[in-house]
Structure 1
Amino acid sequence: MDNKLLPIGKTAKLLGVSIDTLRRWDKSGKFSSVRISAGGNRYYRKSEIDLFINEPLSVALNWAISDKTYEPDQKYYCKTRDVFQVRLEHMLAELLGENSKAFSSLISAVAGEIGNNSFDHNIGNWPDVLGIYFSYSLTERKIVLADRGLGILFTLKRVRPDLKSHKDSLKVAFTEIISGRAPESRGNGLKFVRNIVTQNPIRLTFQSGDALLKLQQGKQDIDVENSERYMRGCLAVIEF
């Protein structure tokens, strides 16, 4: 194991975050530092940095925001809808082994709605890499989906040209039923997702553009905040 210590500045560059973010992560325990002396500078173990970089959420995020176009690891890459459907069904089968049929179906429905929306609303218009990133861990009870598509704002502006920001587009997508043709069904689908999440022990974090939305059981209010990093497409984390 590589126990080499790296300073906070170099660690921030490797992880693609700011030094202030690393300090917050250290205080919260999300990613702890090493201090050679009490009150001294923060250092980070190279081995732990490598693990963090290769964690599924980090991999998905880095792929979604990267300026370089490349396909993710084939284990998690669903280039077409049929590949996604097969893996979604496999996940449901695993969920059924540890959870009730009703709850397993809800989790699968949320993941399926988000993943299928990526295909529905980017078909023929993928900016570069086709398909989605899809990983899950029943041990961590976490599902991660990401795409390098057009994003929620671009999709909804086709029928709601008044939308000006990613924040507004996420609020509309998760709260309003929009009638009409193709693009707006994404909003209706995400409203369906919101209803499931807020009525069950599920948490959802969803990002598109520079807007980050969080949903959880019993919380009807839409909480949308600015994200530190911009992505053209979408990233979703489902925890249950």
Structure 2
Amino acid sequence: MKNNELFSIAQVADILGVSKETLRRWDKNGTLKPTRNDGNNYRMYHRGQLEEFEQAKLLFSSTWDQEHAVQPRRKYTLVELFAGAGGLALGMERAGFKSLLLNEIDKHACDTLRFNRPKWNVCQSDISEVDFTKYHGADVVSGGFPCQAFSYAGKKMGFEDTRGTLFFEFARSIKEIRPKIFIAENVRGLLNHEGGKTLEAIKNVIDELGYTLVEPRVLKAIFFRVPQKRERLFLIGVRNDLAKHFEFKWPSPYKRILTLKDALKAGDLYESDVPDSAGQKYPDKKKRVLDLIPPGGYWRDLPDTLQREYMQKSYFLGGGKTGMARRLAWDEPSLTLTCAPAQKQTERCHPDETRPLTVREYARIQTFPDDWKFSGPLSAQYKQIGNAVPVNLATAVAKSVVTALNLLETCEQHHNQNEIVAA
């Protein structure tokens, strides 16, 4: 990134985590003034202007390459829950983990896992039916438990009080396996769910289980070599008897923000253009509307009469609803992928062609490799990909966990050597 001294308004908005409207306001009030390109009047920002912002500093001084060169001191073992199509599991594998078990209830997702990794121990069942005691001593338990509402009435919200929720089953796996570290991921909404009470209840249970929690953090996928504006909340915990030797450092950002072009064309991320694959289609009426939307545009780019017709009652409601009638742009990351690319609330239209993204385009935006095949009907494939943790984000977090485990391993070896000397 050092050679790219100029940044567009879209790039700066992504780097600083603010809207383009905010940048335009900063331009007017003098907070951050871009220069104008004489040829086309585009607003461009110099690298030096951005270096006073913390997020830009991290990007420009990235230690991504060093972190990704880290190798495990031994083959660390993993139990993966709510495994889905394998985004998190594949990232953990790339960091050097050996999976002992992958549990998932969805048949199509399990078929996907088995097809791509025949040697993985994939258990298709309700998690409440899994006996985790046979995996006692695995190094890591990971998974994205769905966030269900708890009933708080008259309860202290300890382990037993979460019974009947999928978080209880995740906690039970930790209780029975006693891993060194656990990794839980969820939607960022968990931070403020029920006014923060849900997360507080989760923290109580983690403490009750005998684990120390790293302060939870929302990671933005665009900073971790993922061409998508997706955000996930990560919770990392370590067993209390290891906590004094535990040092966890969140992963550094990649050296630049990737765009849709990086996902679908040959370049930094993939060696070839995206392969052809099946995809949904728009009904003729919707296609005629989306034909009028420019790259990066949405319903407000339509003539007013069409805006009213397309949005109906939503036209009069507040909020931008920028996902509706949305066409993606080549030079920006994709919006967060959903489970259905043609859904009215969350359209993800191809930048040039008036159609939803295909399955392989979806998979690339989630940074799955092209040889990772998805099982089931088209709707099930989209759902699996849309629900996945982006592989490159998972890899970045997993590398940080490997670094922490390596340190624990070193401390344990020194402890054992000292005991031998003392004897």
Question: With structure 1 as the length reference, what TM-score do the two structures score?
Answer: 0.33
Write 1 or 2 for the structure with the bigger share of strand: 1
Q: Which has the greater radius of gyration?
A: 2
With normalisation by structure 2, the TM-score equals: 0.22
